[in-house]
Chains A and B, each alone.
Chain A
Amino acid sequence: MTTSVVVTGIGVTAPNGLGTDAFWAATRAGESGIGPVKRFDATGYPAKLAGEVPGFEATDHLPSRLIPQTDHMTRLALVAADWALADAGVALDQWQQFDMGVITASSSGGFEFGQNELQKLWAKGGQYVSAYQSFAWFYAVNTGQISIRNGMQGPSGVVVSDQAGGLDALAQARRQIRKGTRLIVSGGVDGSICPWGWIAQVAAGRLTGSEDPDKAYRPFAADADGYVPGEGGALLILEDAESARERGARVYGEIAGYAATFDPKPGSGREPGLKRAIEAALADAGVTAADIDVVFADAAAVPDLDRAEAEAIGAVFGPRGVPVTAPKTMTGRLYSGAASLDTAAALLSIRDGVIPPTTNVAPAPEYDLDLVVDGPRTAPVATALVLARGYGGFNSAMVVRKAAK
């Protein structure tokens, strides 16, 4: 029998709430964290809105030793990991170091840190560049720092597949637990709200130019015109279900199914890969479409991508065949942090029997989606599907469900 993998802890740093409780309360209530960019002066840039994590003072949470060597997004990740471990009731001194690993997702690494060092390089010279630039910018840095801080020496790594990474990392963690590791800290906390990161995101051509936070990011609307980027995400504690039961851990739910596909070459005329990813994830979980109580959508807010996602959901579930929601309309798209945060939201939906709303969207009738738009919807949720797509053709789907008693 294959090892069942469960989630026992959640740590959230999100634009609409610092900490799981603040995030979930805001998300249920439809409260957005999107506003004008504050981390740098975005005047003159074609995109001016972002979802920024509120009220985060790194020195309130982390030792001064970590401050000179970390990018902002790494600080958010370290704190999210601390909170997830505390939430899971993990007392580190009672664990073997090799029984615990760290597998995170990343999209760009520590861009803000890297930009500062590049500016010093060109303005003042190489001797002004921080020695910590050697790793502070790097994709794997969050994994490394979390591993060092918590003494976790089991299987570890980083997954880089843009927004799909938030699910791909959790899937890789599940693989490692099935191979015998007891616990993995996994998920994504991301962000590169700085001029260097901003330009890269603008160049991809998918950001909205809107300056109205309530109208900027409207996936599945007829006149959707791009998304708002954000920072933050969620880290989860994944454990071998048996091991979690033995230590009496509270269980949010099971990572029941997963699949990833890659889109065919553009212009090939072949079908995009999302539907196959959904079908394979359902099969992996041993469930059918009728078992899914809610879909957390990727929600690109780019018309072609919205259409492709609506068609994939419609092909599997039928027209208006399943409630669909996109709470990321309250945070912006968090790159590798987005799907981990959606997975956290899905698990909280299961716990509380409530589906959080999609805000600011009047759904286009042509998509035929049952989008949850008028406030939270009370409904028993036993099984949820989370979708994520990464720039360049990555599609991932994950099924989470209420753990067996």
Chain B
Amino acid sequence: MAGSELTIEDLKRILRDAAGETEGIDLDGDILDQTFEDLGYDSLALLETGSRIEREHGIELEDTSVTVVETPRALLAVVNEQLAAERAA
């Protein structure tokens, strides 16, 4: 899996496995620019999500890069930037 892009669909699946889905929130809707807080995910949920992304993609993220980003779009950008850098290296 290392090297392939993390898509929003990947992220939704990982979020569901890592931390479940908040009642009343539809992850299948357009969530790219909603905040993780509004989606019902706290810092521990994001830590667990980050750890699963690392395992799937064979990368190591800075702890802070997962917990300071506020939206799925920002998280995808951080992860994919790092994946691109490792492909180029």
Contacts and interface: CB of A to CB of B under 8 A. Distances in A.
Interface string A35-76: 000000000000000000000000000011111110000000
B13 to A, nearest CB: 13
B18 interface: yes
Interface stretch (B28-36, B40-48, B70-78, B79-87): B40-48
A227 to B, nearest CB: 36
Contacts of B54: 127
A68 B19 contact: yes
A128 interface: yes
Given A131-B44, A132-B44, A65 B23 contact: yes
Contact of B23 (A63, A128, A132): A63
B16 to A, nearest CB: 7
A128 B55 CA distance: 8
B21 A132 contact: no
Interface string B1-28: 0000000000000001111111100000
Give the interface centre of A64, A66, A67 by most chain B CB atoms within 10 Å.
A64
B7 to A, nearest CB: 22
B51 A127 contact: yes
Contacts of B55: 127-128
A94 interface: no
A65 B48 contact: no
A128 B22 CA distance: 23
Contacts of A128: 55
Interface string A183-198: 0000000000000000
B21 A130 contact: no
Contact of A64 (B21, B44, B48, B51): B21
A69 B23 CA distance: 16
Contact of B22 (A65, A67, A69, A127): A65
Interface residues of B, number: 16
A134 interface: yes
A63 B20 CA distance: 8
A131 B21 CA distance: 17
A64 B47 contact: no
Contacts of A134: 44
Given A127-B54, A127-B55, A65 B47 contact: no
Contact of A63 (B17, B22, B44): B22
Nearest to B49: A131
B20 A66 contact: yes
A2 B19 CA distance: 45
A32 B55 CA distance: 45
Contacts of A65: 19-23, 40
B19 to A, nearest CB: 6
Contacts of B45: 131
Contacts of B17: 68
Give the interface centre of A65, A67, A127, A132 by most chain B CB atoms within 10 Å.
A65
A68 B20 contact: yes
A67 B51 contact: no
Contacts of A131: 44-45, 47-48, 51
A172 B13 CA distance: 43
Contacts of A64: 16, 20-21
A66 to B, nearest CB: 7
Given A127-B54, A127-B55, A128-B55, A68 B21 contact: no
Nearest to A134: B44
Contacts of B19: 65, 68-69
B48 A68 contact: yes
A209 B48 CA distance: 41
A66 B19 CA distance: 8
A238 B44 CA distance: 32
When A and B form their complex, which 3 residue pairs have the shortest distance between CB atoms, in order from nearest?
A: A64-B20, A65-B20, A131-B48
Given A64-B16, A68-B17, A128-B55, 13 more contacts: A63-B22, A65-B20, A65-B22, A65-B23, A66-B20, A67-B20, A68-B48, A69-B19, A69-B44, A130-B48, A132-B44, A132-B48, A134-B44
28 contacts: A63-B20, A63-B21, A63-B22, A64-B16, A64-B20, A64-B21, A65-B19, A65-B20, A65-B22, A65-B23, A65-B40, A66-B20, A68-B17, A68-B18, A68-B19, A68-B20, A68-B48, A69-B19, A69-B20, A69-B44, A127-B51, A127-B54, A131-B44, A131-B47, A131-B48, A131-B51, A132-B48, A134-B44
